[in-house]
Chain A
Amino acid sequence: MKQIQTKRLILFSVLMFVIISCGTEPGTKSEKPEAHNEAAEEHNEIVQLSQQELDEFGVVLAVAGPAKLQTHVSLPGEIIIPPHNLAHIHPRFPGMVKEVRKTIGDRVQKGEVLAVIESNESLSDYKIKSLIDGTVIEMHLTRGEMIDDAKHGFVVADLNTIWIYLQVYQKDLPYVRKGQKVLISAGKGLPETEGIISYIAPIIDEQTRTADARVVLRNRKGLWKPGLFVTGRIVTEDITVDVAIPKTALETFEGETVVFVKETEGFKPQPVHINRENDTLVEIEHGLKAGQTYVSKNGFVLKTELMKSEFGDGDH
């Protein structure tokens, strides 16, 4: 008895199921294309917020338009003395130092006597003279000292111009070219100076895996001391683009980069294609036209309003 009932029940529910599924068949069919539309439609979704809400949530609007876009790379570098501004001055013959006339930091003229040495061979004095105009930066001899090799002597450098060798990493090589402007900074207290890349090494250093880029700087005041580490900011591009917007305007929505654009009905996430960018700005290649009003800040609020249905419940 009970079995029969159960069978009937099953039969009945199967029947019901068939009827229900038949009943919903056309519905599901018509829904399928809808489902496809949905993906496309989702970009047509509109968020409506009143002006009051925009103010409350700090949503900032701006009008898209042309802007100057400067792109750059930052490179570490070091100040060195240009090799042709450097003179190593050594006594020619072994002997005894009789007189030292100049010391570290003294400015010397070309031909000016630096020291007097009595030769061991001839027992006569001879003078060693500066080869260039410059400053004594090293001195390796003292009075009465016996000298018999090339370790002793003077280094004189002309520091009116210095070189900066910037280290260009492999990844930055394509952006760094001869003739580019470089903004040199050496940290707190030192002024920033502009220079120009005059040379890029044709080979990569095997030790540091970087290529050197040279910037020549005038150094009248002697501010740029060789040995100093500096940072060079190279402007790789400096152009005016048709549409550039702040990076804060970009939102990621459904796997795409979008900008919220104001339309008559409300705000719409507009997928955009980005071309150039720097730290703060991006150039929009297409997706946003000049003259359109877009959300430049706190578009996140709009985005989450669209996503709202997705993140409800189920979280702890």
Chain B
Amino acid sequence: MNKIIEFSLRNKLLMLSLAVLVMAGGWFSYKQLPIDAFPDVSPSLVQVFTETEGLAPEEIEKYITFPVEAAMNGLPDLETIRSVSNFGLSVVNIYFKDGTDIYFARQVVNERLQEAREQIPEGFGDPQMGPISTGMGLVLFYYLEDTTGQYSLTELRTLQDWLIKYQLQTVPGVTEVLGIGGWEKQFQVSIDANALLRYDFTIQDIIEKVESNNLNVGAQFIEKNAEEFIVRSVGLVKDMADIENIVIKTEDGTPVYLKQVADVKIGGAVRRGVQTRDGIEEVVAGMVVKLYGSNSSTVIGKVENKLAEINKMLPEGIKIIPYYQQKSLVEAAVNTVTDALLQGILLVALILVIFMGSIRPSLVVALAIPFSILFAFIGMRYLNLSVNLMSFGGLAIAIGMMVDGTIVMVENVDRMLRQSKSDEPRIHVVARAAREVARPILFAISIIIVVFLPLFTLQGVEGKTFKPLAYTVSLAMLGSLIFAIVLAPLFSQMLMRRPKKALKAGEQAKEVAIVRFLNRLYLPLIRFFVKRRSMAITLAALLLIAGGFIYPRLGSEFTPTLQEGTIILRLTMAPSISLNESTRITQIVERRIMKVPEVEHVVTRIGRGEVGAHTDPINSAEMYILLIPQDEWKSADSQQGLEGVIREEVGEIPGVLSNFTQPIQMTVDELLEGVRAELAIKLFGDDLQVLKEKADEIARVIQQVPGAADVQPDQVSGTPQLLIQVNRQAIARYGINVEDVQKVIRAAVGGEVAGQLFEGVRRFDILVRFSPDFRSTENSIRQILVETPEGAHIPLEQLADIHEIVGPRQITRQNSQRFITIQSNVTGRDIGSFVADGQKAIEANVDLPPGYLVTWGGQFRLQQEANKRLAVVIPVTLIIIFILLFSSFGSLKNTLLILLNIPLALVGGVAGLWLTGQNLSVPSSIGFIALFGIALENGMVLVTYLNQLLKDGVPVDEASVKGALLRLRPVLMTAVTTALGLIPLLIASGVGSEVQRPLATVVVGGLVTSTLLTLLVIPAIYKWFAIDTDRETQMD
């Protein structure tokens, strides 16, 4: 160590260039770092979507979900397969182990997908992988505004699907653009069922005719006088008239045209999602999905530029209006921490000047901040971390700590310079001073890094959220260590001078005014406590008791919710609701929200659009509430306050459940398939009916267990079905096959795509279907005629039993087995015992048929796992700290004395939380962890010096007073800089501040008590823990 210091002092140029190189590297790395709002907590997941129009959940599960799931079994690094079979949509989520490369996962899934495709019957949809993105990938939403009012929703949707979408997809970093709302253009052939009878046709005949009269072919070429002519036959339908004039039959040379049996018109395809705005109109909207791993802020920037370009290409009067963009969130989050960072730096610099009384040493210390931060950037780049709220937050937290090592170093140099004789070369004084404190600095900073170890063992969402913070803190501390030991002596030697007075008089220089003042204040105090040790112990004991008193009063939560700055009101309506009705209700709610003066717009997505991002059913609506700038608010001054105002205005909506959420939170929850309740009881089994009955039974039993709250089985049924059960006897009588009946039902009621019409490259489906008169009511479906082989026409009613039933809304499966979740929260008792009781209660009261299985999971499992891991990691960390301390001091007593700091620091942290009304949570735990390190550091600095004095032969009591007095400045400085560095985080109210605040509160609170202890109690009781000077000298 000493060699390093000396080497550095001797090779100034080399070290300076190295320092400049590191800082330049840091700057370069920073420029390359991706910028996100939050750390991405999405799991390693590949989604497989299969859309099959019109198929009920049971069939989706049978024909699509199952083959896809089956194909995925046994993939490498596979964790779980979960699926949801909805009406018309199958979603299979394939979860891989955390950290699996997403491209690898997609590749293996894709290979198996081929297998699955072969298993899925023809015409039942084609499974596709979701976009290469994560839960944070939805970076920008927009809608189309038509100021002219002349364009239909179909025309707008066509613009979206065929112009805007393709333009946006060319932007690098955009992986998908998904449209929703309006109507997808379609050429609809609406058949008059009576006309079919008249001309003796079946709907199948029509479909075939349409398909076989819409074709272009190539026929190679012919040679003509040494030239080649490509032969090409053009027979595609070009417009509506072409379709109308398709000949479906010729009788005696008289053609029967399609228009004689059907109306051909442009209409909208069947849709499962609607987008509305401000309670006044439907709109067409789109979402931009960012490519996995790309830089959010650059992608959004490029998308914005592209949007400006596209706006120029759009017809007069149509404009793209972005209504949500993550950019503002990214900016806000990064601003919150950048502000805190800058304010912290300023405050720290101010303290330095005050305490050091001169600019030069302050400059040396302040240099530690940019160096450490830039050093951390290099590490971040190496570790593939992005700039986000948490990683930058780590830097903000560490600001005060980054300077600690250098403060101790510079303070010592400063002191030595003041005390040194004027004839001693400065380089010697500096080297001497550096040698004296290098060791304690090394150990103190190492300990700070070590205490962050437990954070690296966090898993899942918490791990992904807080690991970046642990990384940046550790990296910055490592940087500060290098600076303190290698560069600080160098800079001190270059920049610091002996006080002029001292130079003149050759006497010891006097302290800075403020330090003198503090010393004068501190001296009687410390004398008092050193004389009356019992008082010191009483003080410590009192603090501890106070802490013990407050601690149980603290509430607890897992992690505070990050405020994203965008409010979403999510509506859940009855599962049987129709899209028209949910649109109607949504618009009513939109109008209610618009009454709040702070609300500028409300844009709502109901159900789902193009598959890839959302899989919501039509009974779910997400309302993005866009607000006027915060400084113009009158009803409330915070996001939460305004949520309250909106909630009041919206009030109770008949038949609708509503809750507030936020865009990223919502998407991530969905991907995690997170049951938000603490407990999720999953019942696995085969029969949907039995599952539902037993789940209800379990819910009733759990309800009885003391402590149960909000018990709720998943609502899996509730979708009405019109079930057409083909009567086999009846069809046998007429010689009809089941398939014949079903084909008619599918084509007549659901419609069948019979080719496409090309308009340039834009292609639109031609859909053949009965006209609404003949298919839109139960009664008319009963009348649909099925042709027998003999040519007779039999109404469907005579061939099948038709009745209404209530069917499943969705079928959820995990690892190829159906399940239902029963959620519960637990109040007033610990979850472990509740689970045990619950299990007993279920065993005793619920009779499960063979093959049915109950598992327990939910947040509590994660918590348990985390606790188990921490139960090992924290003691290990403490042992490492102990070993570090012990090897630094070589004395058990000293080590214990320093460890005494921990409980007293805890008291301050707890008190801080209590006073500010915050809860125990993951961030506040991290605050405690950081606090340990900082508290120990102060103790170490003091005890080292006390030992030093003792070794020099000063009596213990005198040494205690003198040492404490001399160390007042560095101890106060490190404590005050650390605390002040955090003040901006404490008072920040921007995006993401709610996660940083508990952390900062704990550290600041803890610093107060631990500094008190370090300054008053440790010197007082030092006597009992003092080292044996003789032995120590020998060892040295």
Contact = CB atoms under 8 A, between A and B. Distances in A.
B673 A316 contact: yes
Contact of A303 (B588, B655, B794, B795): B655
B643 interface: no
A44 interface: no
B779 interface: yes
20 contacts: A13-B833, A49-B654, A53-B654, A74-B783, A169-B794, A207-B791, A209-B788, A229-B197, A252-B804, A300-B577, A303-B655, A304-B574, A307-B574, A310-B718, A311-B657, A312-B715, A313-B657, A314-B715, A315-B575, A315-B714
Interface in A213-229: 229
Given A305-B655, A313-B657, 20 more contacts: A20-B706, A56-B588, A58-B584, A169-B794, A171-B798, A207-B791, A209-B788, A209-B792, A229-B198, A252-B804, A255-B806, A301-B585, A304-B654, A308-B656, A311-B575, A314-B821, A315-B619, A315-B620, A315-B810, A316-B670
Contacts of A49: 654
A308 B657 contact: yes
A312 B574 contact: no
A124 interface: no
A175 interface: no
B793 interface: yes
Interface in A130-182: 169-171
A58 B591 CA distance: 14
Contact of B616 (A171, A252, A304, A316): A316
Interface string B422-445: 000000000000000000000000
A50 B809 CA distance: 32
A21 to B, nearest CB: 9
A246 interface: no
A186 B777 CA distance: 22
Given A17-B840, A229-B197, A231-B194, A301 B657 contact: no
B585 A312 contact: no
A307 B657 CA distance: 10
Contacts of B714: 314-315
A302 interface: yes
Nearest to A316: B670
Contacts of B615: 316
Contacts of A187: 194
A57 B587 CA distance: 10
Interface in B818-832: 821, 823
Nearest to A47: B654
B489 interface: no
A13 B836 contact: yes
Nearest to B91: A316
A302 B654 CA distance: 7
Interface residues of B, number: 55
Given A169-B798, A231-B194, A302 B715 contact: no
A281 to B, nearest CB: 13
Contacts of A57: 585, 588, 654
Contacts of A28: 704
B654 A305 contact: yes
Contacts of A314: 712-715, 821, 823
B572 A169 contact: no
A264 interface: no
B572 A315 contact: yes
Contacts of B792: 207-210
Given A13-B836, A58-B584, A316-B616, A304 B712 contact: no
A24 interface: yes
Per DSSP, chain B at the interface is mixed
A105 B373 CA distance: 104
Interface string A19-47: 01000100010000000000000000001
Contacts of B657: 308, 311-313
Contact of B197 (A76, A252, A305): A76
Interface string A44-69: 00010100010011100000000000
B835 to A, nearest CB: 12
Nearest to A252: B720
A304 B573 contact: yes
A24 to B, nearest CB: 7
A132 to B, nearest CB: 28
A182 to B, nearest CB: 16
B794 A209 contact: yes
B797 interface: yes
A311 B718 contact: yes
A279 interface: yes
A187 B771 CA distance: 15
B790 interface: yes
A302 B655 contact: yes
Interface residues of A, number: 41
B663 interface: no
B194 A229 contact: yes
B201 interface: no
Interface in B647-701: 654-657, 670, 673
Interface of A: 13, 17, 20, 24, 28, 47, 49, 53, 56-58, 74, 76, 169-171, 187, 207-210, 229, 231, 252, 255, 279, 300-305, 307-308, 310-316
Contacts of B720: 252
Contacts of A17: 837, 840
Contacts of B713: 314
Contact of A208 (B575, B588, B793): B793
A147 B792 CA distance: 38
Interface string B554-595: 000000000000000000111101000100110010000000
A76 B655 CA distance: 44
A69 B333 CA distance: 67
Contacts of B823: 313-314
Contacts of B946: none
A252 B837 CA distance: 39
Contacts of B673: 316
Contacts of B670: 316
Contact of B572 (A53, A208, A312): A312
Contacts of B620: 315
B750 interface: no
B734 interface: yes
Nearest to B676: A313
Residue among B84, B615, B783 facing the most chain A CB atoms (10 A cut-off): B783
A58 B795 CA distance: 37
A60 B783 CA distance: 31
B400 interface: no
Nearest to B675: A314
A303 B720 CA distance: 14
B194 A301 contact: no
B39 interface: no
Contact of A313 (B656, B712, B779): B712
A302 B581 CA distance: 13
A133 B405 CA distance: 125
A303 B790 contact: no
Nearest to A49: B654
A6 B574 CA distance: 49
A311 B574 contact: yes
B574 A209 contact: no
A49 B654 CA distance: 8
Interface in B828-869: 833, 836-837, 840
Residue among A24, A210, A313 facing the most chain B CB atoms (10 A cut-off): A313
Nearest to B710: A313
Nearest to A307: B574
B998 interface: no
Contacts of A305: 654-655
B574 A303 contact: yes
Given A169-B795, A310-B715, A315-B617, A207 B790 contact: yes
Contacts of B794: 169, 209
Instruction: Report the 10 A-B pairs with minimum CB-CB distance, sorted nearest first.
Output: A304-B655, A304-B574, A314-B714, A305-B654, A229-B198, A305-B655, A208-B792, A311-B715, A209-B792, A301-B654
Contacts of A208: 791-793
